A and B are shown apart, each in its own frame.
Chain A
Amino acid sequence: MPASTGTLSRIDRRFAALKRDGRPAFVTFVTAGDPDYETSKAILVGLPHAGADVIEIGMPFSDPMADGPAVQASSVRALKAGQTMKRTLQLVREFRATDDDTPIILMGYYNPIYVYPSEAFLDEAKASGVDGLIVVDVPPEADNELCLPALERGLSFIRLATPTTDDARLPAVLANTSGFVYYVSITGITGAAAPVVSDVAAQVARIKRSTALPVVVGFGVRTPEQARVIAACADGVVVGSALVEAIRMTLGPDGQAGADTVAAVHKVVRDLATALRGTSARV
């Protein structure tokens, strides 16, 4: 049971507000500390003003098996600049000092959490103002390791559902999921091929028959037009690779942040947000 009984979480409040406004959630992803701590902080702090409704922050990992080249490279840049889990939590604290409403989801892989170790990580994440976790390589079969302890602390545990999650398996995937369901629109890695809209619509509808939670779609969504079309059949859309690519393209020859790095990311976000605000949410 989520411990947030009684008071709604930031995630729940945000989705409820979006529903009232009749528009889909725009979820942005960037990697913590990419390309360096201060630039990353400036990017994050400006994301809500640029139009992000929910912020996913990648926890850098040396071996991001589910990610494509763009997010892999962002992880490498962040680690090279000295990013650690401690600094990622610090980044969230600093963001929270500027914004107490926008939900923050930490996304990444299990090992840096396990080594932290897990219990201390969950306590500090909650205290830093984190609202939810997406941990790619901890399936429902291992719920007692991380998911249930997270829920006990009032952190949402957001599960990925995928095109291979069939009806037999879907209840297990949804069982302890809270906040929203993240539908992975393709079998593949982040930033790969564009999803087929009709498939996504059918799958989102299937998931929504089994849960009252919002369903947000990600992986492979890049352009405002794609985002608009995908969002029209879901409760929100995630864009990540396009943002970290915008970072990469503005870097100097030694990989240092350019004068326009922060602005370039915010422009991509603004363009996507503008397209999405012209869209009605599915429900």
Chain B
Amino acid sequence: MSAKPTAAPSTAQNSFRSGPDDLGFFGLFGGRFVAETLMPLILELESAYEAAKNDSKFQAELRDLLEHYGGRPSPLYFAERLTEHLKGAKIYFKRDELNHTGSHKINNCLGQIQLARRMGKTRIIAETGAGQHGVAVATVCARFGLPCEIYMGATDVARQSPNVLRMHMLGAKVNSVTSGAGTLKDSMNEALRDWVTNVHDTYYIIGTAAGPHPYPAMVRDFQSVIGTEVRAQMLEREGRLPDTLVACIGGGSNAIGLFHPFLDDKSVKIYGVEAGGHGLDVYNGHNASMTGGSPGVLHGNRTYLLQDADGQILEGHSISAGLDYPGVGPEHSWLKDTGRVSYVPITDKEALVAFQLCAKLEGIIPALEPSHALSFVTKLAPTLPKDDLLVMNMCGRGDKDVFAVAEHLGMKI
């Protein structure tokens, strides 16, 4: 059940929180593998972000937006009935599904839209899988009056239609991408093609902690508000740090946001949950890029990828559009190889069971993405002592998934 570490764990590291290096690498992973047309902009973005990061006015404006527009801090909720049901660890949910727009994606979008404005960019593009990032981008573009185009795979447009409607209502143009399997990988290819064509005025808000440097570090920084809040909230509630952290991983932005502030707290055990789809034994039937893939270079970074022996990228499969991506953010690849974080797969079927359990026991309809994390919690919590403090990131709400889940479960109105 737990992933086997591929390198000697951690004692050799002074800190797990100091990456990336100047060229954007976390060990072997990360970097800036992009076409020359984009390189000058990537370098400009890096220096603009460094300046913004150290600008107290920028940070104060962002904090204000996160609080009054985004709804932060999100609650840390003791899931009492789930805890009783599983008879093990004391389970808390970090309620990032209560944010404005319904997921953690708004944290990153508020940060990046402020950066785009600071850089004088006048047009925004983004890729989206489940549509949660697309909705968050469309939202901040409406809020700040910038035109935006969202690239979304045709398969995802069909299975996440409520989010497509929301993006339209917010004034975004949604481009349905038909190449490949019509999922997140293909929408990212199209967004990159748009960017390379319109590089002079366009800012690309990448939705996850992946892509060329500085995106993985920048998105992580914007999402780290999740873990920073958990730290303070848990200290206030229980008087100590959590023992166990669990989050789902597509590209891995909600997970790195929760994990990063705790990486140097050796007592905290950390689990990332990948999309096991139809099962890891089914070729091209899952999106567990770390537990079932190998290192490669795609979308601007080196990271674990699902690929064939010739280096062609596989499409993979997940019931969850947000996890349906054959790669992962480079910092996760490094955390896997250093052994600091354990990565585990959960299948479509297991996620659906957890989805229903959460709705019935806690009165919370989770998105399919955190349903994967929740399924792993149902396996892990019973093995832990009752005083183990476990935090799972409830990174998105399931409103967008109700039609797709109903279809899977054969529900009729």
Binding site for B on A (CB under 8 A): 60-66, 68, 72, 79, 84-86, 109-116, 136-139, 141-142, 159-166, 169, 173, 184, 187-189, 192
In the complex, are the beta carbons of B311 and A169 less than 8 A apart?
no
7 CB < 8 A contacts A-B: A62-B180, A63-B299, A72-B179, A142-B31, A164-B36, A184-B37, A187-B196
Q: How far is the CA of A64 from the CA of B196 in the complex (A)?
A: 13
Q: Is the CB of A139 within 8 A of B311?
A: no
Which of A111, A115, A141, A160 touches B35 (beta carbons < 8 Å)? A160
Taking CB atoms and an 8 Å cut-off, the chain B residues in 307-340 that contact chain A are 307, 309-313
Would you list which residues of chain B between 27 and 72 have a CB under 8 Å from chain A? 31-41
From DSSP, what is the main secondary structure of chain B's interface residues? mixed
Q: Is the CB of A65 within 8 A of B36?
A: no
Contact A188 B196 (CB under 8 A): yes
* B36 close to A114 (CB less than 8 A): no
CB distance from A172 to the nearest CB of B (A): 9
Q: Is the CB of B36 within 8 A of A115?
A: no
Residues of B within 8 A of A (CB): 23, 31-41, 179-180, 185, 189, 192-193, 196-200, 294, 296-300, 302, 305, 307, 309-313
Q: Is the CB of A112 within 8 A of B312?
A: yes
* With contact pairs A62-B180, A164-B41 given, residues A139 and B34 touching in the complex (Cβ less than 8 Å): yes
With A79-B312, A85-B310, A164-B199 known to touch, is A65 a contact of B37 (CB < 8 Å)? no
Residues of A within 8 A of B299 (CB): 63, 65
In the assembled complex, which residues on chain B have CB atoms less than 8 Å from the CB atom of A85?
A: 310-311
Instruction: Give the distance in Å from the alpha carbon of A175 to the alpha carbon of B268 in the complex.
Output: 47
Residues on A with beta carbons closer than 8 Å to the beta carbon of B297: 109-111, 114, 137
- From B302, B311, B313, A116 is in contact (CB under 8 Å) with B311
Option from A68, A84, A162 in Cβ contact (under 8 Å) with B37: A162
A187 with B197: CB separation less than 8 A: yes
CA of A116 to CA of B312, assembled, Å: 11
**In whole angstroms, what is the CA distance A241 to B312 when docked?**
22
Contact B307 A189 (CB under 8 A): no
* B32 partner, pick from A61, A84, A141, beta carbons under 8 A: A141
Whole-angstrom distance between the alpha carbons of A188 and B195 in the complex? Answer: 8
A136-B35, A137-B300, A139-B32 known; A164 vs B40 contact (CB < 8 Å) = yes
Chain B: which residue is nearest A116 at the CB level?
Answer: B311
When the two chains form the complex, which single residue of A62, A111, A116, A173 contacts B36, counting CB atoms closer than 8 Å? A173
Question: Chain B's nearest CB lies how many Å from the CB of A61?
Answer: 7
The residue of chain B having its C-beta at the shortest distance from the C-beta of A69 within the complex is B179
| B196–A115 CB distance below 8 A | no
Q: In angstroms, how far is the closest chain A Cβ from the Cβ of B324?
A: 15
Q: Is the CB of B296 within 8 A of A165?
A: no
Instruction: Using A66-B193, A116-B311, A160-B37 as known contacts, list a sample of 8 further A-B pairs with CB atoms less than 8 Å apart, ordered by residue number in A.
Output: A61-B312, A72-B179, A85-B311, A139-B36, A184-B37, A187-B37, A187-B200, A189-B196
Q: Report A-chain residues with C-beta under 8 Å of the C-beta of B41.
A: 164
Q: Check B311–A188 contact: CB distance below 8 A.
A: no
Please list the 4 inter-chain residue pairs (A to B) with the smallest Cβ-Cβ separation, ordered nearest first: A115-B311, A112-B311, A188-B197, A162-B37
Bound complex: CA of A189 vs CA of B192, how far in Å? 10
- Is the pair B196, A66 in contact by a Cβ cutoff of 8 Å? yes
By a CB distance below 8 angstroms, the chain B residues around A184 are 36-37
Q: Closest CB-CB distance, B194 to chain A, in whole Å?
A: 9
Given known A141-B32, A159-B36, contact A111–B199 (CB-CB < 8 A): no
Cross-chain contact A111 with B307 (CB below 8 angstroms): yes
B179, B197, B311 pick with most chain A CB within 10 angstroms: B311
Nearest-neighbor residue (CB-CB) of A168 within chain B = B40
Contact of A113 among B40, B294, B307, B311 (CB under 8 A): B311
Q: Across the interface, which residues of B come within 8 angstroms of A136, CB to CB? A: 35
Q: B37 to A137, Cβ gap below 8 A?
A: no
In Å, the complex CA distance between A84 and B309 comes to 9
A166 to B33, CA, bound (A): 19
Interchain CA distance A60-B313 in the complex, whole Å: 12
Q: Are B40 and A166 in contact (CB under 8 A)?
A: yes
Are B313's CB and A163's CB within 8 A?
no
Point out the residues of chain B lying under 8 angstroms from A61, CB to CB: 311-312
